[in-house]
Each structure stands twice: as C-alpha cells, then as structure tokens.
C-alpha cells in the first residue's frame, strides 16, 4: 500500500480541473455557443472535482486513487467530445443511435474493463489493442487533412459552414468514443496486474 504524498491540487485532480477549464468553453461552442451545454459541462466538472476530493480523502493507496481519477478524467473528456455531435443530431433519429452507441460503449467497457486492460497491458497479443491503434491513426490522418494547409483547410474548404460543423463534430464524436473506450482500463488495481 502506497500512501498519497502529493497535495490534492498537484495530483491527477489538477489534470481533471485543467482539462475541464480548457475543453468546456471550446466544446460548448461547437457547432455554436450554447449556455445550457456550458452550464451542464460546468456542473459535471464541479461534480467530478468534488468526487475526486472525496476519493482523495477516502482512498489511501496512491495508485488506486490515481487510476480512479484518470478514469474520471478520460470519461469526462469522452463526454465533452461526444456532446457537439449529439447537439447537431438532436431531433433526428441519428441522435438516438449515437446516444445509444455512446452509452453502450461506456457501459460495455466498464463491464469488460479486465479484457480492455489486458489488451493494452499486453498489446502484442491483442487484436483489440491493434484495432484501437488503427482507429487512432485513422482519426489522426483525418484530423491532419482537416488541419491548415497554407490559408485553406483541405477538407473543410470543400464544405459549407454547416457541413464543416457536422464534420468537426463527427471527428470529435469519434475521438470521444475512443477515449471512452480506453478509459475503463484505468479501473484495474495495480496490485492485481500480472506481469
């Protein structure tokens, strides 16, 4: 059992709060600014910060505390990233499919956290890890094509403003699903890891 030596504000809780400060305003503005989404995200960040403080007080093992906070951080980043696409598709039947997919991935990965942890702990033996890495590189390639090329965007210059917002939100949604999928690997206690 390793006890926590660092102060609350210097541990992974600072990462949770820092990411919230950076991501909430940015992702509340995609596809257009929404005060309701901003307030929802602020409430979620406040709840997670209070939960992190509670865990800091109650969990003596540093590794387990860090793992739980990293899980909360990754899960919140996943949620922040899927929100813009859910906003765009709200009112369409696609909304329910996307919402179901997000909730399904979150619940499935929490239930199958052992399998996901092992996939990333020993990636050479896992098709799941290889598939996740391939998806990650596809997202990076698509994101690279969306990035600036001189003064114009390669993909976004082909789209009008609404299509561009849909495209960016779709990429963020995919990133959010990937981060949500990976987040459950943090739910493994370090003393239960076999090397």
The model's confidence at residue 134, banded by pLDDT at 50, 70 and 90, is confident
- The secondary structure of residue 3, as a DSSP letter, is B
pLDDT digits (tens, 9 = 90+) for 135-151: 777 777 766 665 555 44
Whether 63 maps to a domain, the answer reads: yes
Whether 40 maps to a domain, the answer reads: yes
Give the domain extent around 69: 8-192
Range in 9-13, 65-69, 107-111, 155-159 the model is least confident about: 155-159
Structurally, the chain folds into a number of domains equal to 1
Whether 2 maps to a domain, the answer reads: no
Residues 109, 106: Cα–Cα separation, whole Å: 5
Whether 46 maps to a domain, the answer reads: yes
- Could you give the C-alpha distances from 65 to 1, 15, 115, 145, 165, in angstroms and in order? 12, 14, 21, 38, 37
Relative to beta strand 148-149, strand 152-153 is antiparallel
Of 10 and 188, more confident = 188
Length of the chain: 195
Whether 108 maps to a domain, the answer reads: yes
> Is the model's pLDDT at 154 over the cut of 60?
no
The model's confidence at residue 99, banded by pLDDT at 50, 70 and 90, is very high
- Nearest CA to 35 out of 25, 45, 46 is that of 25
Tell me what pLDDT residue 2 has. 47
Tell me what pLDDT residue 91 has. 87
pLDDT digits (tens, 9 = 90+) for 23-67: 888 888 888 888 999 999 999 999 999 999 898 888 888 888 888
Whether 177 maps to a domain, the answer reads: yes
φ and ψ at residue 3, rounded to 5 degrees: -90, 160
Whether 119 maps to a domain, the answer reads: yes
Whether 1 maps to a domain, the answer reads: no
The model's confidence at residue 71, banded by pLDDT at 50, 70 and 90, is very high
């Amino acid at each position: 059992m390793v006890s926590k030596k660092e102060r609350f504000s210097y541990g992974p809780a600072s990462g949770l709060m820092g990411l919230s400060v950076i991501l909430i305003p940015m992702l509340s503005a995609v596809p257009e600014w929404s005060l309701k989404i901003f307030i929802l995200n602020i409430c979620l960040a406040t709840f997670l910060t209070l939960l992190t403080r509670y865990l800091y007080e109650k969990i003596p093992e540093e590794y387990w505390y860090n793992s739980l906070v990293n899980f909360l951080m990754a899960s919140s980043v996943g949620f922040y990233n899927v929100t813009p696409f859910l906003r765009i598709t709200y009112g369409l039947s696609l909304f329910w499919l996307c919402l179901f997919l997000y909730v399904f991935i979150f619940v499935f990965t929490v239930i199958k956290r052992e399998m996901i942890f092992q996939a990333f702990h020993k990636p050479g033996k896992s098709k799941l890890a290889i598939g996740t890495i391939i998806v990650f590189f596809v997202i990076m390639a698509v994101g690279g094509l969306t990035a600036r090329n001189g003064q114009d965007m390669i993909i976004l210059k082909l789209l009008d403003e609404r299509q561009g917002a849909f495209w960016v939100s779709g990429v963020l949604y995919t990133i959010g699903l990937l981060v949500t999928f990976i987040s459950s690997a943090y739910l493994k206690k370090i003393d239960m890891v076999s090397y």
